[in-house]
Amino acid sequence: MLPGLTYDFLKRLAKGIAQQFGENCEVVVHDLSNHFTENSIVIIENGQVTSRKAGDGPSPVVLEALNGDRTKLQDHLCYLTKTHDGRVLKSSTIYIRDEKDGVVGIFSINYDITGLLMIENSLKSLTAIAPDTKGPEHIAKNVNELLDELIEQSVRMVGKPVALMGKEDKIKAIQFLSNTGAFLITKSGDKVSKYFGISKYTLYTYIDAK
């Protein structure tokens, strides 16, 4: 049997974790100190998750601990298990060791994530986007901000700052602005001309360039 101090602590710990995370969180303690093979569960909270109770037998993990080399056992965290009725659990298995590093018990957490997986699938369908989407598009607060954003887009499209742009680069940027409707914005021509360091006449020449 697990030592009294250890048992009392594990019982409080199991209850605390179960209450913290709610009824979908099962916490189980298996006693392996006397090689219990038919009634290894000595502590269980929220046993309805797997339909088990204190005194029930071992899981495959417990059998592995009993039959294998206990000195080589490693904690197994955040893996998936499944109940007899098909619900999916996120599980962790932590081995309880004595002062000689021998495995005397197992502390196990099984969280039913079936409902969360259903929500995740629903959210994926709601947030699905076209495969060729590059990223979120900025939503401007007003037309001035919109024009600034379009000018920045034109610079990114060319791939170099205005100071390094030649004539062909500027034609490419300005025709991009024309195609996006930037010049429908009042006084946009003045702002774009100033930004690219060209005259209004040159601006219109660049817009019509072939």
pLDDT single digits (tens) 134-172: 767 777 778 889 999 999 999 999 999 999 999 999 999
Q: How many domains does the chain divide into?
A: 2
Please report the pLDDT score of residue 36 as a whole number: 62
pLDDT at 59: 80
> Are 27 and 97 within one domain?
yes
Longest Cα–Cα distance in the chain = 94
pTM of the full structure: 0.66
Kindly state whether residues 12 and 74 are assigned to the same domain. yes
Residues 96 and 23 in one domain: yes
Residues 17 and 102 both lie in one domain? yes
91-107 residue pLDDT tens:
999 999 888 888 888 99
Is residue 105 a part of any domain in this protein? yes
Report the C-alpha gap between 88 and 98 in whole angstroms: 32
Regions of the chain short of the pLDDT cut 50: none
Query: 71: which residues sit within 8 A by CB, 6+ positions away?
Result: 101, 102
pLDDT at residue 1, rounded to an integer: 65
- The verdict on 68 and 163 lying in the same domain is no
* pLDDT value, residue 102: 83
Examine the domain organization and report whether 21 and 108 are in the same domain. yes
Boundary residue ending a domain (80, 101, 116): 116
Rounded distance, CA 77 to CA 192, Å?
Answer: 58
Domain of 109?
A: 4-116
Q: Say what the pLDDT of residue 140 is.
A: 72
Q: Residue 89: helix, strand or coil by DSSP? A: strand
Residues 99 and 41 in one domain: yes
**Residues 167 and 111 occupy one common structural domain:** no
